[in-house]
């Protein structure tokens, strides 16, 4: 499976991010990432590591770390991608919320809705 993304430098943030290697159509599935489940009882231990910047909220019992490129999406209040939890398959599905041009950074809104302006918590997983 050829992915439409590569790791590069975010043109807006100057840090590592995901860049489109080709044009991506609105609604297109970009990646299905298997998730590693982390019990919420381990939150303190997780937050004490650099991995505390890369996890997702999953449900009341678990946080989850996306394998593949999933945990490398940077945040934007005007994101061009969305993520959906596939609870049955324990996967996170990333899709284009709008057309994305080759070379453009792929971003998600850590609040879940691509245009949700609610401030996010510093150092808190998505």
pLDDT averaged per 10 residues, the chain (length 126):
89 93 97 97 95 92 95 92 96 97 95 77 48
CB distance 101 to 23 below 8 Å: yes
| pTM assigned to the model | 0.88
Q: b vs e for 22-31, b when ≥16 Cβ sit within 10 Å of the residue's Cβ?
A: eebeeeeebb
Q: Locate 87 and state its tokens.
A: 């609870």
CB atoms within 10 A of CB 109: 24
- Alpha-carbon separation of residue 31 from 14, 22, 44, 119, 125 (angstroms): 23, 14, 29, 26, 19
Q: Which domains does the chain have, with CATH numbers?
A: 5-108 (2.170.270.10)
């Amino acid at each position: 499976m050829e992915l439409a993304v590569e790791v590069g430098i975010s043109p807006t943030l100057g840090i590592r991010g995901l860049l489109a290697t080709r044009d991506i159509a609105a609604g297109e599935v970009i990646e299905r990432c298997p998730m590693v489940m982390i019990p919420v009882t381990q939150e303190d231990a997780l937050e004490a590591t650099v991995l505390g910047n890369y996890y997702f909220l999953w449900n009341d019992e678990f946080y989850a770390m996306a394998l593949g490129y999933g945990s490398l999406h940077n945040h934007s209040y005007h994101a061009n991608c969305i993520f959906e939890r596939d609870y049955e398959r324990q996967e996170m599905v990333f899709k284009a919320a709008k057309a994305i041009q080759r070379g453009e950074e792929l971003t998600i809104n850590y609040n879940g809705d691509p245009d949700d302006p609610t401030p996010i918590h510093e150092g808190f997983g998505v």
